[in-house]
Structure 1
Amino acid sequence: MTSVSTRSVVEMLLAVASVALALWVRRRVAPRASVPSHRAFTLVFLALAMALVLGVFEGRVLAFLELDPRDREAQGALLAFALLVQGPVIEGAKALLVWPVYRAGLVTSGVFGSLLGALVGFGFFAGECLRFAFLDEPGPPPFELRLFLSLPLEVAAPAAYCHTLGVRGRDRYFGLAWVLCAVIHALTHHFLFVRGGAYWALAIPPSALSAWLSYWLLFRQTEGTRRTNAFLELEGLSLREVFRPARRPLKLIWIAFGAFVTLGVTLVLLAFAVYVGHRFDIDFTLAEEGSGYSGLLPVVLLGSAMLAAFPLSAYLVARASGASSVLEPAWSTAMAIALVLGLFSVSEPTAVVVALGVAPVGFALACLGAWFGLDR
């Protein structure tokens, strides 16, 4: 009883901290996107209530389908449920709370749209915390850490697709951004709250990237023009120029060659990680079974090797091709990820989940590595 009470207190504190953080963010962004405090609190409260309602709905649907998140034999069905039902329903509910404001023509800037989305995300996270504190059983250990890692993902997703609603001419990208966020939400939720062992560690890179994305969307225009320009002007190349084939058209040969380079570098680094693991007597089977340090270590080792392969291979491709933009290395990375997904979908379906989970972070790291190798 004591452990349950302690867990509930921790989750309640996380819920209160989420609401307080939402109001703090509203105050920080106020110079560029002002939302009255009572309206911000109302939006957060509505999101909190909707999260509780959807939590009850999710439990009823899982019971109707006879799916138990703790059943290892039902991992495939639970992943399908997350992709087809859970992710779209939750992100759809978040968008539904912001949509009336957009239809009224009140979303006047991208920062304002991101602020509304972030407030909804903070409210949903608070509702999730209260749901696990009073309604549902906790997931695999360490559950509180898993719950904390979901906060940036809950906030960044609505902040990203609501940002498109406030930028003139870009609201047509809302649907695409929403679909991507729904898929990422489903995958990370599966890692954090369904998969046992140390697979929760695979959600750390997307969580860190989501935290940075939230900060960039909310505060990039509130810290002064000089600092913003210093970030956007990367040694004479703006972000638009980095992603634009300025000097010559894209060459398919370098995209195809880069895909095989990415696969080769990934295999070499994974083989090196396995060698290091066996050298220091690391049991890789504990990644599925263990939840402590012994289970976390093999996941961190293999995940670090996989993520390091993306910027390294993109840098090599950019240097070899003499590229002036990151598009060729970026497309080669996307092609390599698509090839891996195609192979794993036939041989090892579980690995598809891992590949999809690291794909957004890997793509971002590939763009970063390619930028260092650009011919400037």
Structure 2
Amino acid sequence: MWRSPYLRLHFGLWLATLGTGAVLLLPVALLEHLLQRWAQIDPVVGTGGQITLLLYAFLIVAPMEMATVTLAVLPYWRLRRVRMRAGLSRALETMEGVSFAVSAAIGFVSVRNLLYLWLYGSGWLSVLRVGLVTATFVLLCAGWGYVLGRHARRGMAGRRFSSAVLGTTVFSAVCDQLIFRHGVLALMAVLPVVVSMLLVAFVLWRDARGPGASSGGGPLSSIFTSAPAPSLHAIREAFRRQDRPLTLRWISFGALVTTGMITAGIALSVFLGHELGIDFSAVDRHEPGAQAIAPLALLGIGTLAAFPTSGYLLARASGTRSVLEPAMAAALALVLVMVFLGMVAPVSVVFAIAFAPIAFALSCVGAWVGLGQ
């Protein structure tokens, strides 16, 4: 697909998409500035109230920015479809949607990063934040770009594309909050989001190439192509109802078991921390280095360990042949945890969403093991 004739044919469209994304950032930045002045809030400094800033980030900034990137793709995607229907170009392919989305995202986020460095940049931490937000934003946009290319006939009017854009918008807001609105330790919470996106991108890349595709990219590409990873077909089969209808009893019971395991995991982490002499108050004092990282890592491990354990137990107890019920139980438990955290400390919901994909995947893995697959 990526031979030179193909690149020569569409490279101009990708460059135009990149430039359009870069240009459209300017009115978006101006509109955000005007809204902040009108509402008397400043997300960088943190003035305006915690809940107000979260609502502004999730309901205004992230949707507006993601919609702008999709708008940058729209004219060139339609032009590509016109070329195809006129017989001037071959049929649309999955990777083309990814290419258009990535091009627009790179143009948009590059100009946004330049503005950030110009206005607020100071030292290596600003460069690190810019690098992280570039990686996360481009990977997220590549997600809905994959859906766009996969369902090219429906285009941007499809329900799957709308769902993909909605999901990427939420995680874009989460990443922005963790990278720009909190301290250095919050940057560690971006790691599970990046790992989740890379794993999803790898599975989708393998699926787009097809089972019989040759690597054609040297030894490194051959390693990635032959690496053991579940295909989309295998994942769909694992979630398919196989032997009986879903039962609300097992889903509710699984959610309660998961929340109980989370509580037990946190309690065990605190106990082990005290036995090992770990000072949990170092997090509140914002102490640098391992003194603040160790308690967070211990609590994170204790919390995440609850999900594969509960998934395994539920799969064994329910006797199901699908991971759908344990997965729904884990999702319900995550929702309950987020609701509780939202009532206690709204900012912690951002961290919960960041770790939710890893927790959900661990629960599914535990259920898969419990099924004896």
- Taking structure 1 as the reference length, the TM-score comes to 0.80
Q: Deviations over 1:38-82 (max 9, x none)?
A: 332332233233335534443443233222322377332221111
Residue 217 of structure 1: which of 194, 199, 204 is its match? 204
The one-letter amino acid paired with 2:331 is A
Q: 1:124 to 1:272 in 2, by over 3 A?
A: farther
1:155 equivalent in alignment to 2:130: no
Q: Which residue of 1 aligns with 2:23?
A: 49
Residue 164 of structure 2: which of 166, 177, 190 is its match? 177
Q: 1:305 to 1:229 in 2, by over 3 A?
A: closer
CA contact (8 A) 1:152 1:210 kept: no
Deviation of 1:183 (Å)? 1.2
Deviation of 1:36 (Å)? 2.7
The one-letter amino acid paired with 2:343 is V
Deviation of 1:259 (Å)? 0.6
Q: Which residue of 2 aligns with 1:14?
A: none
Q: Which residue of 1 aligns with 2:180?
A: 193
Give the paired residue count.
Answer: 346
Q: Which residue of 2 aligns with 1:128?
A: 112
Q: Deviations over 1:108-165 (max 9, x none)?
A: 233221222122223333223312222x214898333333222332112222222222
Q: Which residue of 1 aligns with 2:292?
A: 295
User: Following the alignment from structure 1 to structure 2, what is the Cα–Cα distance between the partners of residues 140 and 191?
Assistant: 18
CA contact (8 A) 2:254 2:326 kept: yes
**For 1:369, what is the secondary structure of its paired residue?**
helix
The one-letter amino acid paired with 2:66 is E
Deviation of 1:233 (Å)? 5.8
User: Following the alignment from structure 1 to structure 2, what is the Cα–Cα distance between the partners of residues 120 and 146?
Assistant: 20
User: Following the alignment from structure 2 to structure 1, what is the Cα–Cα distance between the partners of residues 5 and 140?
Assistant: 21
CA contact (8 A) 1:95 1:162 kept: no
Q: Which residue of 1 aligns with 2:88?
A: none
The one-letter amino acid paired with 1:302 is L
Q: 1:88 to 1:73 in 2, by over 3 A?
A: closer
Deviation of 1:267 (Å)? 1.2
For 1:1-376, what aligned pairs fall within 5 Å after superposition?
A: 29=2, 36-68=10-42, 69-71=44-46, 74-104=49-79, 105=81, 108-134=92-118, 136-138=119-121, 142-168=125-151, 171-196=158-183, 198-218=185-205, 220-222=207-209, 225=212, 227=225, 231-232=229-230, 238-290=234-286, 292-293=288-289, 294-376=291-373
User: Following the alignment from structure 2 to structure 1, what is the Cα–Cα distance between the partners of residues 52 and 123?
Assistant: 18
The one-letter amino acid paired with 2:64 is V
User: Following the alignment from structure 1 to structure 2, what is the Cα–Cα distance between the partners of residues 255 and 30?
Assistant: 49
The one-letter amino acid paired with 2:273 is G
User: Following the alignment from structure 1 to structure 2, what is the Cα–Cα distance between the partners of residues 267 and 143?
Assistant: 36
User: Following the alignment from structure 2 to structure 1, what is the Cα–Cα distance between the partners of residues 134 and 6?
Assistant: 22
The one-letter amino acid paired with 1:345 is G
The one-letter amino acid paired with 1:45 is G
User: Following the alignment from structure 1 to structure 2, what is the Cα–Cα distance between the partners of residues 164 and 203?
Assistant: 24
CA contact (8 A) 2:203 2:230 kept: no
User: Following the alignment from structure 2 to structure 1, what is the Cα–Cα distance between the partners of residues 314 and 35?
Assistant: 48
User: Following the alignment from structure 1 to structure 2, what is the Cα–Cα distance between the partners of residues 142 and 245?
Assistant: 48
CA contact (8 A) 1:109 1:167 kept: yes
User: Following the alignment from structure 2 to structure 1, what is the Cα–Cα distance between the partners of residues 287 and 33?
Assistant: 25
User: Following the alignment from structure 2 to structure 1, what is the Cα–Cα distance between the partners of residues 122 and 37?
Assistant: 16
Q: 1:61 to 1:214 in 2, by over 3 A?
A: farther
User: Following the alignment from structure 1 to structure 2, what is the Cα–Cα distance between the partners of residues 205 and 33?
Assistant: 35
CA contact (8 A) 1:29 1:218 kept: no
User: Following the alignment from structure 1 to structure 2, what is the Cα–Cα distance between the partners of residues 280 and 365?
Assistant: 27
Q: 1:352 to 1:173 in 2, by over 3 A?
A: same
Deviation of 1:288 (Å)? 4.7
The one-letter amino acid paired with 1:120 is A
Q: Deviations over 1:214-248 (max 9, x none)?
A: 344346433762658974469xx822211101122
CA contact (8 A) 2:110 2:134 kept: no
% identity of equivalent residues: 29
**For 2:120, what is the secondary structure of its paired residue?**
coil
CA contact (8 A) 1:87 1:183 kept: yes
Deviation of 1:281 (Å)? 3.8
Q: 1:64 to 1:131 in 2, by over 3 A?
A: same
CA contact (8 A) 2:94 2:208 kept: no
Deviation of 1:258 (Å)? 0.9
CA contact (8 A) 1:33 1:111 kept: no
Deviation of 1:306 (Å)? 2.1
Structure 1 portions without partners, runs of 5+: 1-27
CA RMSD of aligned residues (A): 3.1
